[in-house]
Amino acid sequence: MKHFIFLILFLTTASLNASSNDTQLILKEIQNLRDDMNKRFEQVDKRFEQIDRRFEQVDKRFEQVDKRLDFMQNILYILMGLIFASPFIAIYLKDKKDLEERKVLDNVKAMMFVMRELAQDDDRFAKALKSASLM
């Protein structure tokens, strides 16, 4: 029976040592897996940082394009305003020209009236107006 107890003790001690070695191996494997995971997470973090930088560059490009489009849109609005306003501007300028011509014509009529009045008193002046077909 002594041998049997000794054998049981020996086997339990050996199994404890073996299980202790297995536990150490498992813990080392877990630590290796953790280290590997941490490295991969660091790589993923770096990749996300690179992607964030690229998105910032793309955002800057879009902002530049947006500014250009705003500038072009303002130019388009100005051109459209000129296109729609040009008939009214033409009408205004024509009316202004007609008014100036009417003033000149009124002045000429007034001068003719005055010259006819003067021609009634002066025969030479009357002959001059008749020869110019103004009377």
pLDDT in tens, 13-48: 655 555 667 788 888 998 998 999 999 999 999 999
pLDDT grade for 69, boundaries at 50, 70 and 90: very high
The conformational region for residue 47 under phi > 0 = left, psi -120 to 50 = alpha, else beta, is: alpha
Residue whose entry in the numeric block shows the structure tokens 């490009």: 61
Tokens of 111: 């001068």
User: Please, which residues have CB within 8 angstroms of residue 129's CB and are 6 or more apart in sequence?
Assistant: 115, 116, 119, 135
Look at residues 104, 129, 130, 133 and name the one whose alpha carbon lies nearest to residue 115. 129
The structure's pTM equals 0.44
- 62 confidence band (pLDDT: 50, 70, 90): very high
Cα 59 from Cα 53, distance rounded (Å): 10
